[in-house]
Chains A and B, each alone.
Chain A
Amino acid sequence: MSSESLNLTLRIWRQDGPNAKGGFRDYKLNGVSTHMSFLEMLDVLNEQLIEAGEESVAFDHDCREGICGACSLMIDGKAHGPDQATTTCQLHMRRFHDGDTITIEPWRASAFPVLRDLVVDRSAFDRIIQAGGYVSVNTGNAPDGNAIPVPGTVQETAMDAAACIGCGACVAACKNASAMLFVSAKVSQLAVLPQGKAERGERVLSMVAQMDEEGFGHCTNTSECEAACPAEISVDNIARLNREYVRASLVSGK
């Protein structure tokens, strides 16, 4: 495929720090190759900004392969941009047209405060996992890997849920900024596996409590999260979380 080149207007959220007032700034960027990834396009912009004496646009990224979950941009109002099941770092410029204006914003959620420009603080997710997103097994305590057979279907269900990359697109896409898809993915993975069963009740109660404490909104079943999720985590997990929650509440009497 030969490459074409695009002339674009980028409308980018700039904000100097957590407490600074932010706003959009427009930048013209010409000669963008359609082979570039979206983040490479921002690299090129940043090089030009630095050469012109303006500080570069800050954005989170690392693997650039769609797996680390670092990249996190609202592109024209869509978390990770227009492509299904695709992170920002895997989005390519051939998806855009010459003359386009592209609006780029950070994730917007009160539980994800902006640190600078397009970078937000997602440590709330870590704290939710700390509340119970694990199996309590110390190193050295494990029986042989084959001691407990796990049926293929169970393993597949667990793996589907475990594929979550923790990027926060689900929160950004939800009008209530709910973290239910993220939380339910971990709850599901560990609830279906035999290794996670012993703690399943306590786990779901603590994780949900922490989610509420962090200020994430409630789930109203609009499934926007599923549509935005680059790892294709299904809202079936939310249904499972709800069942787990009811079950655990009954058992614990809370």
Chain B
Amino acid sequence: MVRVASETLNSRVPEGPVDEVWDKHRFNMKLVNPANKRKFTVIVVGTGLAGGAAAASLAELGYNVKSFCFQDSPRRAHSIAAQGGINAAKNYPNDGDSIWRLFYDTVKGGDYRAREANVYRLAQVSNNIIDQCVSQGVPFAREYGGTLANRSFGGAQVSRTFYCRGQTGQQLLLGAYQALMRQVHIGKVELFARREMLELIVVDGVARGIIVRNLTTGELETHTADAVVLCTGGYGNVYYLSTNAKGCNVTAAWRCHKRGAYFANPCYTQIHPTCIPVSGDYQSKLTLMSESLRNDGRVWVPKDPEDKRNPAEIPNEDRDYYLERRYPAFGNLVPRDVASRASKERCDAGYGVGETQLAVYLDFRDAIQRDGEDAIRKKYGNLFHMYEKITAENPYQVPMKIYPAVHYTMGGLWVDYHLMSNLPGLFVLGEANFSDHGANRLGASALMQGLSDGYFVIPYTIGDHLAKAVLPKIPADHPACVEALESAQSRIDQLLAVKGTRTVDSFHRALGQIMWDHCGMARNKAGLELAISQIRELRDQFWKDVRVLGSGESLNQSLEKAGRVADFLEFGELMCIDALNREESCGGHFREEHQTEEGEAKRNDEEFSYVAAWEFHDVGDEPTLHKEPLSFPNVPPTTRSYK
């Protein structure tokens, strides 16, 4: 049985109509007087959209900012890889969009597991984001007349997605990066690249600093401040294979969790239906093929599992267009979670194609016949080119082979309306927090959230904390700093001391396989219980048999990886515990025990309309569950149906 805390969590959402609370609250929050801002130092960990935007904006206000990332330059944060676009409720196309509609779609898309007030605020500031980025020189796509262009994305019924070719994340990130570099130049931001956060410093229950490892020299550094803003991205790499960059990790968030910050909804992960399938056991990551391909591609498998003919030779009557068959209304455009599960179902039943039989066809034959190859090239040329580069197959002639892959994590550290965790002084932004996407994220909404948090929320809410809190100076030799430093050092020493026989990657792969098999697209009680015991066993083996060569006093990539995998090995267990606790299917979380007769997800609003925020006690010890009840006065829950 799960230990449940008796008191529910206070989200600090102000009273009042959802469309008014943010404006009123901005007035009610305390301000730091301009002359006093320069007396405060804020640590921002991460330089993706959330961290880059936060660090630049806070410095512009006058705070002293220390900015950290593990890459060699802040410009390489994983946000750079986002392709499709960013949503905003501008309603430039005059097609019926509004802040309310974006709010509504996001709450519904999240399968009624997000906090309404946060989502409304997100929709509200979405428009400011576009203005800000345009002013920075982000080259958004334009119409001939020079106005901003929009497209429809991810099955949305309005065109609200802004984009820069297939490189939206890159351009938005470079905008934030440049704003950040400007503040470095002015001297308001001190930049620490190639640094990995290994510990949070907590003094009298308040977050006051971090310990980082200088990845070039190996030296551990102590940094103190008046607040810590964590923007360290998602944890999809717990599965080893994902569309995330190789360095994405849970380490920073996990170390905060172990220092008292609650981890919310860790089991909510998004599996993207259109990725290039695994080709061999050397595979190091998976590549996303944009969702937009399903606008013209048709998904199918052969009706006969023994049908090994070249796909072009398989006539229509021998093909099973299973999305069109199961979901006649939405067809190939059903949401990500539904499409992913449907391909898994076909492959599990033995209908998969290709060498590994873990793939389905995404076929452009009919679209090419209808619109001509040129039209298709114009829309998807760069994607087809990328596909061919990786697979050496020409998708104009043979159907693409695709399979779902882990893509995004909706869970993260628990935060209140101020984006502050339960540890005062620790703020969490972007993919690293849990707040806005519920159990499923809509396309083009992660970029929006990262920039909203960084440009337009934290600049207000951090002031309220700094103005109210009592923040005595913390010297670097404060006992809490010394203790955190020693803890980081001892973990490194332990990793180097094992001197076992197995590589770090071999453990990471094994963990990924357990997570994918039992805590992936479909989960059930027996599988999750098995996974928990397997993870524990693997973790024991890791600490007995991992081989990390070299020393802690130099650039040592094996050691970096080992630290991250050690944390994933603890975190994976929490994901399974959360998935086990949530006896319902919602969004990306599908419990096989909770489905309709047609195999669709069955939510349980009576019992599970809450955020599950977990409190850490010890490795391998049952965490305590803290609940934040959710209510939906503005968007009453309905069953998502795409039939």
Contact = CB atoms under 8 A, between A and B. Distances in A.
A63 B167 contact: no
Contact of B148 (A122, A142, A146): A146
Interface in A54-103: 54-56, 58, 60-65, 67-70, 86, 90, 92, 94
Interface in A5-49: 16-17, 33, 35-37, 39-40, 43-44, 47
A159 B392 contact: no
A210 to B, nearest CB: 10
Interface string A117-137: 001011101100111111111
Interface string B548-574: 011000111110000000000000000
B245 A68 contact: yes
Interface string B40-78: 000000000000010011001000000000011111101
| Residue with the greatest number of chain A CB neighbours at <10 A, chosen from B135, B164, B165, B284 | B135
Contacts, number: 219
Interface in B2-45: none
A56 B136 contact: no
B71 A68 contact: yes
Interface stretch (B180-188, B465-473, B614-622, B634-642): B180-188
A119 B560 CA distance: 15
B135 A150 contact: no
Contacts of A162: 137, 139, 164, 171, 174
A35 to B, nearest CB: 5
B72 A60 contact: yes
A1 interface: yes
A34 to B, nearest CB: 8
A50 B170 CA distance: 35
Contact of B92 (A146, A148, A152, A190): A146
Interface core residue of B78, B285, B505 (most chain A CB under 10 Å): B285
A70 B143 contact: no
B146 A139 contact: no
Given A58-B557, A67-B80, A195-B134, A150 B146 contact: yes
B178 to A, nearest CB: 4
B181 A134 contact: yes
B145 interface: yes
A156 to B, nearest CB: 8
Contacts of B71: 62, 68, 70
B510 to A, nearest CB: 14
A64 B505 contact: no
A142 B131 contact: yes
The CB with the most chain A CB atoms within 10 A, among B139, B185, B287, is that of B139
B179 interface: yes
Contacts of A36: 280, 282
Interface string B143-182: 1111110000000000000001101011100100111011
B428 interface: no
A155 interface: yes
Contact of B135 (A37, A121, A141): A141
Contact of A62 (B137, B148, B245, B505): B245
A99 to B, nearest CB: 20
B136 A134 contact: yes
B581 interface: no
Contact of B282 (A40, A119, A143): A40
Interface string B483-509: 000000000000000000101011000
A63 B79 CA distance: 10
A116 B559 CA distance: 15
Contacts of A68: 71, 76, 78, 80-81, 245
27 contacts: A37-B284, A58-B555, A62-B78, A62-B247, A64-B246, A65-B287, A67-B81, A67-B169, A68-B71, A86-B389, A126-B73, A126-B191, A130-B181, A134-B181, A139-B56, A139-B57, A139-B455, A139-B456, A140-B132, A144-B131, A155-B139, A158-B139, A159-B139, A159-B171, A162-B139, A190-B137, A195-B135
The 9 closest A-B pairs by CB, nearest first: A149-B146, A134-B178, A142-B135, A142-B131, A159-B139, A139-B57, A145-B134, A158-B139, A130-B185
Interface of A: 1-3, 16-17, 33, 35-37, 39-40, 43-44, 47, 50-51, 53-56, 58, 60-65, 67-70, 86, 90, 92, 94, 115-116, 119, 121-123, 125-126, 129-146, 148-152, 155, 158-159, 162-163, 165-166, 189-190, 193, 195-196
